[in-house]
Amino acid sequence: MPQPTVLQMTPLPQVAIDLLKARFDLLTLAEWQELGPETPRARSVTGIATTARGAVDASLMDALPVLRIIACYSAGTEGIDSDEAARRGISVTTTSDLIAGDVADLGMGMTIALLRRFPEGMAHVRSGAWPAGTMPLGRSLAGGRIGIVGLGNIGQALARRAGAFDMVVRWHGPRPKAGLPWPYEADLIELARWSNLLAICCPETPETRGLVSADVLAALGPEGYLVNIARGRIVDEEALQIALSDHAIAGAALDVFANEPHVPHTLARNDRVICLPHIGAATVEIRAAMAEHMVARLAEVLL
């Protein structure tokens, strides 16, 4: 029996490619385009393997008449027209359940680094300024107020970690959720005003793009910090740069950016900003588990 044909839309790690090739007839996007969308093999694609950035829209679905599943090697699906897929009965799967712990670990590490002023401390030592005097004091985590925007798997994992450091947690989202131990705040501005640190954990959607606006940053205030472990475009990056330049907020830790992999120089070179290259789920263990999960979801539908 011939193997089902799977289209690889975006670059994937070798561990994922090896697993895909072992069970499916794997076509890269370039190979699919070279074949021509009208050829039998190109039209036989029943599954797609992609990251969140893979552009899977209605026109591509039209060209894949027997497509049954889009399996994402990511937590997000922002490149995929999920509504159109649902309308056509095409499954869309993600690895969000797997990555929550590691992404939350990074968010907690960023929280510690910001409140204890790691970036300024490293700059203080490297510049040779230490012999001339001490650096400004940091803030205790215990009793500190962390506001979490988005309380899905990642947000809840971060809330548990913050609680272990005796931080006080509140959260914001589109609606309250029953059975959670952390208070809900319906107004994002009010959450920012209350918080010592605002952590962004929500998915990127049309509604959340630019959600963290100049007004939110102003409410966070000159002693407040921002952590973003979600998606870069949820934060108004221009407003963030202005807020940092004007010392309207104390600092930021960012694992994601609006135009990755390009990072504005005003963020990358600011001693009050931690910039990381989207490494929230970049661990050996999680990347292997993500590959296995993606292939297993494809196999459930196609084999």
DSSP letters, 207-264, are TTTT-B-HHHHHHH-TT-EEEE-S-GGGB-HHHHHHHHHTTSSSEEEES--TBTTB--
Q: Give the DSSP letter of residue 120.
A: H
- Same domain? For 78 and 108 the reply is no
Say if residues 116 and 138 touch (Cβ distance below 8 Å). Answer: yes
> What pairing do the DSSP bridges indicate for beta strands 91-93 and 45-50?
unpaired
Catalytic residues: 231, 260, 278
Q: What is the pLDDT of residues 150-199, one digit of tens each?
A: 999 999 999 999 999 999 999 999 999 999 999 999 999 999 999 999 99
- Same domain? For 77 and 208 the reply is no
* Domain count within the chain: 2
Q: What is the pLDDT of residues 134-144, one digit of tens each?
A: 999 999 999 99
Q: What pLDDT, on a 0 to 100 scale, did the predictor assign at position 54?
A: 93
CATH number at 32 reads: 3.40.50.720
For range 10-37, the mean pLDDT: 95
- Same domain? For 223 and 170 the reply is yes
For range 95-111, the mean pLDDT: 95
pLDDT beyond 90 at 75: no
- Same domain? For 106 and 75 the reply is no
For range 67-87, the mean pLDDT: 94
For range 85-113, the mean pLDDT: 96
For range 263-289, the mean pLDDT: 96
Instruction: Please tell me whether residue 201 adopts helix, strand or coil conformation.
Output: coil
- Same domain? For 115 and 238 the reply is yes
- Same domain? For 37 and 64 the reply is yes
- Same domain? For 42 and 71 the reply is yes
* φ and ψ at residue 234, rounded to 5 degrees: -70, -25
As a whole-number percent, the residues of the chain with pLDDT over 90 amount to: 95
Range of the domain at 133: 98-275
- Same domain? For 207 and 298 the reply is no
- Same domain? For 112 and 221 the reply is yes
